[in-house]
Amino acid sequence: MPLASHQTSVPVVVDDAKCIADKGCTVCVDVCPLDVLRISDMTGKAYMAYDECWYCMPCEADCPTGAVTVNIPYLLR
Amino acid sequence: MALDQIVDGLSEVSCDVLVIGGGTAGPMAALKAKLKNPKANVVLLEKANVKRSGAISMGMDGLNNAVIPGYATPEQYTKEITIANDGIVDQKAVYKYAQNCYSIIEELDSFGIRFLKNENGDYAVKKVHHIGTYVLPMPNGETVKKALYRQLRRARILISNRYMATRLLKSSDGRIAGAISVNTRTAEILVIKAKAVILCMGAAGRLGLPTSGYMFGTYENAANSGDGYSMAYHAGAALANLECYQINPLIKDYNGPACAYVAGPFGAFTANNEGSRFIECDYWSGQMMLEFYNELLSGKGPVFLQLKHLHPDTISEIESTLHKVERPTRGLFQQGRGVDYRNDSIEMHISEIGFCSGHSASGVFVDDNARTTVPGLYAAGDMASVPHNYMLGAFTNGSVAGIDAMEFAENHDFAEFDAQDVARERDRVMAPTKREDGIPPNQVEYKTRRLVNDYLQPPKVTRKYELGMRRLAEARQDMQEHMIARNAHELLRALEVQSIMDCADMAVHASLYREESRWGLYHWRTDFPEKDNANWFCHTLLSKQNGKMTSQKRAVEPYVVPIADDEKDLYDKQRIRATA
């Protein structure tokens, strides 16, 4: 069966201007219980790669530069 | 190499005690095992990252079941939990918890976790339960994981993050030999030989689908997909009272606690749309949940947590707790809805179903030493059968498990396992990565959990369960023959779906076996609407025997703390009676 890619608005937003993943920081990726954050090959910044979020906050709380914002997933809002 | 790219690899390590799951019970089990024998190797394996994993990833507002001298006695607590759990309790384990938990509180205090005290320096314990007083707030509850993590580092526990355990290994004589795991970012296999294994893998919280439709918006940490239940089952361990589901009263749509345990002691209460109380007590029991369910359907719903009548300072105090720990996005959610606790009530609803002994009684069977029915295999926390044990129970029973498991490891050498078992498991794990074409894990999971909601949610109807069983069998066939994983992350999800499917099958089997109604909403069978003490005053144990799912009865151990006849139904009288 062929697969389609599915569009979804993701709850975790990273401010590229503040994110220091390109300097080697991986804190948000490391702490996420659901392992849904990744560092982009294109921008070198963190982003939410998988929409599988428990809106639990470690990524936002532990980010050393305040670059991460956790929003409530749209379906719950 | 890019993260998530599948790597073909297998390595093997060994340790004395392997603890699987680094949430609440796991860190304490690992710490106690290591402190008992500092020369021994203790490995703590975690699917996420121990720093921020599990139910207390963002901390906890307080202890829900603290038995503190001067406020409650172990006898009183044991009695309360026995009655709250409809009498189906092996009291020895509950009593042992009640005796030991105060020393664990003192130990947590020494780790830097503070507990609320009044102006006289006494613990400020609050009443939430029906009979006794056991709720103790933690003013710096957001620091729990950090405090635990410091202890783990100091004790030199070997921590392996991002490994998902998939199956246990046993010797031909049935003793535990270790576990097989897979790296969640590379799909490399890691075999861990161990003399004793402790399962601390949390609830089966991704079983039902939340009403929001967002698959990961579960009450439990969504990483808790029931892997421990599934692994224990396949290892031949017995699982107790799985039909006693977990269903909780939560903030509607947000699906986290509202939380009456925090707000109740200040004067908040659960009310219907007329603003009236309808339950006697906000402690989460099946009987309370049945009244909650009935109220929602009665025309007097929705149900609300009412706190706007409180003093603004009190509301601010409650707010600062609710919006800081456990589920801190509560504040953001309420803000989005325009809800201010000073003016508005909090709309509540009931959660999806799951297995969790932390709040109900569905768990891997353990005795008062946290031993399962498999020699050398232990379980603690939400996934072990000690009922209503919450966070402090996870710490206390984790401690019991750690000490006993290390003793077991000291008296036994490594058990031999069949290399073929590893080869077979590797094939099973990797199967979804070998297919070119098929169904992705998220679709198999959605369908499975949608079927759980459609057919398994109480009230339990035999005919619905029979249909549910058939539909789940079809979904299982799709999962086994057609599920694909294109990278290591999808493989993690694909493996979790297999745990979820096992739990769904166990939920059906256990529920059909107990032919009575018990525990209020948790096991309300419309075809057997009455409690039947003559035939069903017993535990049920589910296990895999000769490859088949089997259930049997197990007598309730004689009580340590006697319950008078007129006390037995205290939790059955949850509905507030109309007064003349």
Note the pLDDT tens digit of each residue in B199-227: 999 999 999 999 999 999 999 999 999 99
For tokens 């109380």, name the residue: B277
In chain A, what is the straight-line distance between the N-terminal and C-terminal CA atoms, in Å?
Answer: 33
For an interface test with B, the pick among A53, A55, A70, A77 (most B C-beta atoms closer than 10 Å) comes out as A55
Is the pLDDT score of B577 beyond 60? yes
Are the beta carbons of A62 and B253 separated by less than 8 Å?
no
| Residue B1 pLDDT greater than 70, yes or no | no
Residue of A nearest to B337 (CA): A77
The phi, psi pair for B269, rounded to 5°, reads -155, 165
Verify whether the Cβ–Cβ distance A31 to B438 is below 8 Å: no
CB nearest to B333's CB, from A1, A39, A72: A72
CB contact under 8 A, A75 and B184: no
Here the tokens at position B119 are 């102006």
Query: Per-residue pLDDT averaged across B139-147, rounded?
Result: 94
Query: Among A62, A72, A74, A75, which would you mutate to test the B interface (most chain B Cβ atoms within 10 Å of its Cβ)?
Result: A72
pLDDT value for B576: 82
- Asked whether residue B578 carries a pLDDT value surpassing 70, the answer given is no
Residue B558 and residue B565: Cα distance in Å, rounded?
15
Q: Are B541 and B239 in contact (CB under 8 A)?
A: yes
Please name the member of B52, B327, B333 whose beta carbon is closest to the beta carbon of A58: B52
Contact A56 B437 (CB under 8 A): no
Calculate how close chain A gets to B407, using CA atoms only, in Å: 32
Statement: residue B349 has pLDDT above 90: yes
Q: Is the pLDDT of residue B579 over 80?
A: no
Q: What is the pLDDT of residues B110-119, one digit of tens each?
A: 999 999 999 9
- Contact between B178 and B193 (Cβ < 8 Å): yes
ipTM of the complex: 0.98
Question: How far apart, in Å, are the Cα atoms of A3 and each of B14, B46, B449, B475, B480?
Answer: 41, 32, 21, 18, 18
Residue B222: its chain A contacts at CB < 8 A?
33-34, 52, 54
Record: contact A33-B53, CB cut-off 8 A: yes
User: Whole-angstrom Cα distance, residue B495 to residue B187?
Assistant: 11
Nearest-Cα residue of chain B relative to residue A29: B49
Mean pLDDT of chain A: 96
The DSSP annotation for B350-366 comes to EPPPBB-TTTSS-EE--
Across the interface, of B3, B49, B437, the residue whose CB is closest to A31 is B49
Contact B48 A34 (CB under 8 A): yes
Query: How crowded is residue B443: how many other Cβ atoms within 10 Å of its Cβ?
Result: 16
A52, A57, A71 member nearest B328 (Cβ): A57
Enter the tokens of residue B198: 């402790």
Asked if B493's CB is within 8 angstroms of A76's CB, the reply is no
**Chain B contact probe: residue of A12, A32, A35, A69 with most B CBs at under 10 A:** A35
Tokens of B161: 């993050």
DSSP calls for B71-140? T--HHHHHHHHHHHTTT---HHHHHHHHHHHHHHHHHHHHTT----B-TTSSB--B--SSS---BEE-TT
Torsion-angle region of residue B174: left (phi > 0), alpha (psi -120 to 50) or beta?
A: left
Q: Give tens-digit pLDDT for B48-88.
A: 999 999 999 999 999 999 999 999 999 999 999 999 999 99
Interface of A with B (CB under 8 A): 1, 3, 30-35, 38-39, 41, 49-50, 52-58, 61-62, 70-73, 75-77
Could you tell me the two tokens for B371? 């031993």
Judge whether B258 and B305 are in contact, CB under 8 Å. Answer: yes
pLDDT of residue B542: 98
Residue B439 has pLDDT above 70, yes or no: yes
pTM for the complete prediction? 0.98
Rounded to 10°, the helix B462-482/B488-513 angle is: 150
Rounded Cα gap, residues B352 and B37, in angstroms: 42
Alpha-carbon distance B469 to nearest alpha carbon in chain A (angstroms): 26
CA-CA-CA-CA torsion sign (B390, B23, B246, B82):
negative
Nearest Cα residue to A29 out of B226, B184, B9, B218:
B184
Look at residue A18 in the predicted model and tell me its pLDDT. 98
CA distance B228 to B383: 7
pLDDT of residue B580: 43
pLDDT at B146 over 90: yes
Taking every pair of Cα atoms in chain A, the longest distance, rounded to a whole number of angstroms, is 44
Minimal Cα distance from A74: which residue of B?
Answer: B214
Cis peptide upstream of residue B302 (ω within 30 degrees of 0): yes
* pLDDT tens digits for range B366-412: 999 999 999 999 999 999 999 999 999 999 999 999 999 999 999 99
Give the C-alpha separation, B278 to B153, whole Å.
Answer: 49
CA distance A28 to chain B (A): 11
Q: Work out how many CB contacts closer than 8 A connect A with B.
A: 92
Q: Helical H runs in chain A? A: 27-31, 58-62
* B138 closest CA partner among B37, B27, B69, B61: B61
Residues from B contacting A (CB-CB < 8 Å) are 2-4, 48-49, 51-54, 57-58, 162, 184-185, 212-218, 221-223, 253-255, 327-329, 332-333, 336-337, 437-440, 489, 492-493
Nearest chain A residue (CA) to B251: A76
Residues A17-72 have pLDDT tens digits of 999 999 999 999 999 999 999 999 999 999 999 999 999 999 999 999 999 999 99
Closest-CA distance, B220 to chain A, in angstroms, reads 9
Residue B358 Cα, gap to closest chain A Cα (Å): 20
Separation between Cα atoms, residue B390 and residue A32, nearest integer Å: 23
Q: What is the mean pLDDT of residues B422-427?
A: 98
CA B494/CA B166 separation, integer angstroms: 11
Q: In B, which residues are within 8 Å of A75 by CB distance?
A: 212-214, 217
User: In B, which residues are within 8 Å of A62 by CB distance?
Assistant: 52
B460 pLDDT higher than 50: yes
Distant-in-sequence, close-in-space partners of B283: CB < 8 Å, separation ≥ 6: B84, B128, B129, B130
Helix (H, G, I), strand (E, B) or coil at B485: coil
pLDDT digits (tens, 9 = 90+) for B244-291: 999 999 999 999 998 888 999 999 999 999 999 999 888 899 999 999
